[in-house]
Amino acid sequence: GLPPYDDSNVFARILRGEIPATKVHEDDHALAFRDINPQTPVHVLVIPKGRYVSLADFSASASEAEIAGFWRAVGKVAKDLGLEGAGYRVLTNMGEDGGQEVPHFHVHIFGGRRIGRMVP
């Protein structure tokens, strides 16, 4: 089963303002900020403000408003960063086999260069 939410995780600390982040968007339901170790010219993380460990948790437990607000923020951030024309990738890592390191649900937005076909 899923682990319980850990309030000491790094994205919870960013949400509480305890550690800095380069924010690119914030609204009632979501926060977006630059990844500290970017893998592409544009690499942004989008997180819901609620306490969800992963996609499994978020998709099962978040309200309709949280889910809608979160995904609207993902699309808006990509557009506002100028990625819509050339395209971009959205990815989430879920759990141990998915390679998830931070236990607060997040999606990565990768863009700014040609990424090509999805490979694991």
Which of 47-55, 70-78, 96-104, 111-119 is the region at the interface with ligand 5GP (rule: CB under 6 A)?
96-104
Q: Does the annotation mark 106 as catalytic?
A: yes
Q: How many residues line the site for ligand 5GP (CB under 6 A)?
A: 13
Please name the residue that has the structure tokens 């050339």. 86
CB atoms within 10 A of CB 35: 17
Fill in the amino acid letter for 26: E
* E strand or H helix that includes residue 78: helix 64-80
- Residues 32-71 binding ligand 5GP (CB under 6 A) are 33-37, 45
How many CA atoms, within 13 angstroms, populate the side-chain half-sphere of residue 46?
Answer: 29
- Residue closer to ligand 5GP, measured from CB, 65 or 80: 80
100 binds ligand 5GP (CB under 6 A): yes
81 binds ligand 5GP (CB under 6 A): no
Residues with active-site annotation: 106
